[in-house]
Amino acid sequence: MNLKNITDNELIKKTENLVRTERETLTTLLHHLREVQRRRLFSTLKYKSLFDFTVRHLKYPKDQAYRRISAMKLLNELPEVEEKINSGAISLTHIGLAQSLFRQEKKFTEKELTTDQKNEVFEMIAGKSVREAERITLALASNPVEIKPDRVKAISANHIEVKFTTSCEVENKIETLKGLLAHKFPSLSIGELFDKLCDLGIEAWDPAAKGKFAAPRKASAEPKKISQAEVRRNVFRKAQNKCENCGSTYALEIDHCEPKALGGDSAKENLRLLCRSCNQRAAIKAYGIIKMERYLDGS
Ligand SMILES: [Zn+2]
């Protein structure tokens, strides 16, 4: 592209136009992401989530994918913001700041801000520099401590560093647990404690776990009837605790291959393990999106 010969005026005009187009493309992209999410279409392409799709399929760096999805959710909740993005008054960074304030307020007051309150925050930060917007959102917070999202960073091939914010109450619980384990494991680090808690949690909540602490079952004279829990456990085991479509381990659910409402039964051949998104996508395919919409979570 040779720009050397266009006039100064033209150059400024064209640059302004490109910026306008770029902003409008952003909001159009957010609408498209929203529709991909509505149809759970990422699941057909074997991605675990819209985020996974945005990173691996659309090739956005993780932080940028996160910011776009977060803005997509916001646009759905506050359509008024779209115009502010198009006009350049609000950037993805502004949206990130506002949303971290909304998250904090919800955590602190245990109540979601109303749509009007949220819109008011956007009115206040619209057109302001990022620094200024930062100051405004910090001043608006009831709890001046900023609760940042969790951060996980790889520090070696086998190790990660986790940074998270929590309350003093949790700190007390950690101290209590360290005290309880002190005989067996003196000088236990939080990471080591967390490892043990993960084992306990898996033992307690993973349907496929053997339950090594569970009481042995009494032998019964009656012919053995397979319990619901056992059917569940078998489906989880067969699928190795992973979504059979995309491999996700998040929010797994048992799905009827042939839907129940269409005559499918609960015999083990008709059952499979899917993550919630893939399960929802399967339902959308079976029943149509219009019919399913009211059962799906609003995200
Ligand atoms: Zn899945």
% residues pLDDT > 70 (the chain): 92
pLDDT tens, residue by residue, 88-102: 999 999 999 999 899
Taking the centre of ligand 1 as the mean of its atom positions, its distance from the CA of residue 238, in whole angstroms, is 15
What average pLDDT does range 166-195 have in this prediction? 87
| Contact residues for 292 (Cβ-Cβ < 8 A; gap 6+) | 280, 283, 284
pLDDT tens, residue by residue, 262-294: 777 777 788 999 999 999 999 888 888 888 887
Taking the centre of ligand 1 as the mean of its atom positions, its distance from the CA of residue 277, in whole angstroms, is 6
pLDDT recorded at residue 30 = 97
253 strand-pairing partners: 274
Place of tokens 């993550």: 275
138-142 contact pairs (CB < 8 A, 24+): 140/101, 141/101, 141/104, 141/105, 141/108, 142/105, 142/108, 142/109
Taking the centre of ligand 1 as the mean of its atom positions, its distance from the CA of residue 242, in whole angstroms, is 8
pLDDT recorded at residue 95 = 95
pLDDT tens, residue by residue, 104-133: 899 888 889 999 999 999 999 999 999 999
Place of tokens 């005290």: 179
pLDDT recorded at residue 195 = 93
Highest mean pLDDT among 34-43, 253-262, 281-290: 34-43
pLDDT recorded at residue 221 = 56
Taking the centre of ligand 1 as the mean of its atom positions, its distance from the CA of residue 274, in whole angstroms, is 5
Taking the centre of ligand 1 as the mean of its atom positions, its distance from the CA of residue 279, in whole angstroms, is 7
CA-based angle 61:78:142, to the nearest 5?
85
Domains, the chain, ordered by start:
9-140 (no CATH), 229-295 (3.40.1800)
Place of tokens 């979504």: 243
Residue 1 reports pLDDT greater than 90 = no
pLDDT recorded at residue 83 = 94
pLDDT recorded at residue 224 = 63
pTM: 0.68
Taking the centre of ligand 1 as the mean of its atom positions, its distance from the CA of residue 149, in whole angstroms, is 24
Taking the centre of ligand 1 as the mean of its atom positions, its distance from the CA of residue 245, in whole angstroms, is 5
Taking the centre of ligand 1 as the mean of its atom positions, its distance from the CA of residue 213, in whole angstroms, is 31
